[in-house]
Amino acid sequence: MNKHVFLKFALFSALLLTANIARAQSNSDSSISGLYALIAHIESHPLIASGMAQIEAARRRIAQKSALSNPMLMLGVENLPTNSFTFSDDPMTSKMIGISQAFPYPGKLPLEGEIAAQDTLTSQDDLSETRNKLAMEVKLAYFDIYHLERAIAVNELHARDLDDLIRLAESKLSTGNSTQSQILDLKLEHANIATEVIEDQTMVRELRADVEQAVGNAAQFSVTPTLGLPTFDYSLARLDSIAHENRPSLKKLRAQTEQQRLQYQRNDLDRYPDFELTLAYMQRDALSAASPMNPANYPGASVLGIVPTSMYQSNMISATVSIELPFNFNGKRSEALGEAEAMRTMKETDGREEELNIHAALETNLAKLQGVREEYALLHDEIYPSSEQATQTSIASYTYGKTDIENVVRTELAHFHREHDRYRLEAEYNKAIASIEFLTGTTLVQYTGRSDWK
């Protein structure tokens, strides 16, 4: 391979990445549907099924908490004499059947139902937060895979270039225009690149396993070849507002705060009495003739010729109302009120702390987005064109014997590193967006696969 042939080859290699960029631009509508398919698969995750079951369990507790307690059935005997154990000796002896029902003071049961209903809301918020977290994990892994797969492609291209340079250097051994040491350096560089490819491929497999864990099944998916930096025109104040309205963890804390407010109202009603209504039916046997309680057995009845006979007795009913005396022993009612108020204050404080943490994280990610955009623009406008020009100059200098092959390799490697930087910045930018979407609890960017690299 002569110098002119090598020049054409090297120029082609140096410009190959530029051609790749042009192809990415022409494929600006390439599909990123694989990412959305993965997010849709989250619904099959066991955590989602568990969360839905938790919601159903909480929903079914509402009726339980707001229902009356079961009535009590009473069966028994009253005033059974112990000397005879018969039901006909005493007119006060009876067989009794009754029923009693407790009635809480009006307003208590509805509040119990409202308190239980807040558990349904918090369970729904837990499920939404689970979806939110799993979606973020999928996005982070997806963008890391994008970076690594693009890096692997760049390294493989560089490895092919090194193969050609090695063959070129070996062909020049006989003419003295290259040395065995140069060839060994090229082979060592080739081995280093191969090692990087293996490490990146291993990391890709690990990340794909993370994606499978996040979606709950062994999902097959492809990663878009173009990503770029999507537009993100949200201010910090706007993101704070979105997070306040949509972040499930904040909504959960607000629901828990409301639950403690309702609990305070419920505890305050304990100053009023509960009631219990009892209704009983008592059946009496006929009073026996021999019973000393029978009026026919009064003294002198036999003198008058009165023969005692059994005496019919009417049955009886009784009704009672029991009223609880709401004594505040040991200040238990005031203590219960204080507990509910303290819990409400705690949940409100937790909510404010969570909002502060979210605000700080949003501000950090917005700063990261700004930094990446600036670095990306610098790479696009200045660094990458200069690196490309330096590579072409180095190749031309080597062609005309003004530099050695090591300089060509170093220059080309630096150029490939700039391409690595591009994919790294794209991944970092989109991962920051994924983190912001997690913090706000809502989707803010709809991807189309459009690349902003011109």
* Range scoring the smallest mean pLDDT among 60-69, 223-232, 236-245: 223-232
pLDDT category at 16 given cuts 50, 70, 90 is very low
- Decide which of 262, 294, 323 is a domain's last residue: 323
Is 445 inside any structural domain?
A: no
Q: Which domain holds residue 252?
A: 3-68+106-271+332-440
> Confidence class of residue 159 from pLDDT cuts 50, 70 and 90?
confident
Q: Are residues 220 and 298 in the same domain?
A: no
Say whether pLDDT at 374 is over 90. yes
The verdict on residue 116 lying in a domain is yes
Same domain flag for 52 and 18: yes
Domain assignment present for 417: yes
277 backbone dihedrals φ, ψ, rounded to 5°: -105, 130
What pLDDT shows up at residue 448?
Answer: 66
Average pLDDT over residues 85-104: 93
**Residue spans of beta strands (DSSP E) within 312-429:** 316-323
Provide the token pair at 241.
Answer: 């507002």
The residues, ordered by sequence, that sit 6+ positions from 148 with a Cβ below 8 Å of its Cβ are: 200, 201, 203, 204, 207
Residue 58 reports pLDDT greater than 90: yes
Q: How confident is the model at residue 23 (pLDDT cuts 50, 70, 90)?
A: very low
The number of folded domains in the chain is: 2
In this prediction, residue 360 has a pLDDT band, given cuts at 50, 70 and 90, of very high
Average pLDDT over residues 337-349: 96
Given pLDDT bands bounded at 50, 70 and 90, which one contains residue 304? low
Residue with the larger pLDDT of the pair 430 and 178: 430
Which pLDDT score, from 0 to 100, does residue 17 have? 44
Q: 346 and 244 in one domain?
A: yes
Give the number of other Cβ atoms within 10 Å of residue 405's Cβ. 22
| CB of 221 closer than 8 Å to CB of 146 | no
| CB-based contact 208:34 (threshold 8 Å) | no
**CB-CB contact of 152 with 416 (8 Å):** no
- Report if residue 453 sits inside a domain: no
Distance CA 427, CA 227 (A): 8
In the block, tokens 């063959």 appear at 167
Provide the pLDDT confidence category of residue 133 given band limits of 50, 70 and 90. very high
The answer to whether residue 293 is domain-embedded is yes
Q: Are residues 91 and 40 in the same domain?
A: no
Give the span between the Cα atoms of 61 and 65, in whole angstroms.
6
pLDDT at 179: 76
Q: Which amino acid is at 373?
A: R
Higher pLDDT, 239 or 380: 239
Domain check: are 157 and 32 in the same one? Answer: yes
Tokens of 303: 């003198």
State the average pLDDT over residues 371-386.
87
Q: What is the pLDDT of residue 294?
A: 77
**368-392: b (≥16 Cβ within 10 Å) or e:** bbeebeebbeebbeeebeebbebbb
- With tokens 């997010």, the residue in question is 39
Q: In what order do the strands lie in the sheet with 275-283?
A: 72-78, 94-103, 275-283, 316-323
Do 89 and 226 fall into the same domain?
no
Residue 21's closest CA among 332, 426, 440, 443? 426
Is pLDDT at 100 greater than 60 in this prediction?
yes
Judged against a pLDDT cut of 80, whether residue 83 lies above it is answered with yes
Q: Are residues 247 and 288 in the same domain?
A: no
189 or 376: which leads in pLDDT: 376
Cβ pair 387, 421 in contact under 8 A:
no
Tell me, yes or no, whether 129 and 190 share the same domain.
yes
On whether both 188 and 125 belong to a single domain, the answer is yes
Q: Domain containing 226 — which CATH number? A: 1.20.1600.10
- Judge whether residue 391 has pLDDT over 90: no
Q: Which of 8-12, 270-274, 398-402 has the lowest mean pLDDT?
A: 8-12
Q: Average of pLDDT values for 203-226?
A: 86
Confidence of residue 277 (pLDDT cuts 50, 70, 90): very high
CA 86/CA 290 separation, integer angstroms: 12
pTM: 0.81
Q: Is residue 454 part of a domain?
A: no
**Average pLDDT of the segment spanning 241-249:** 96
Helix/strand/coil percentages in the chain, nearest 5:
65, 10, 25
Kindly state whether residues 84 and 129 are assigned to the same domain. no
For the cut 50, the answer to whether the pLDDT of residue 282 exceeds it is yes
Per mean pLDDT, which range of 106-110, 194-198, 327-331 is the poorest? 327-331
Same structural domain for residues 238 and 301?
no
Tell me, yes or no, whether 7 and 61 share the same domain: yes
So what's the pLDDT on residue 9?
A: 45
d(CA 439, CA 195): 37
- 98 is written with which tokens? 């009754």
Provide the mean pLDDT of the chain.
Answer: 85
* Assigned domain for 397 exists: yes
447 part of a folded domain: no
Confidence class of residue 291 from pLDDT cuts 50, 70 and 90? confident
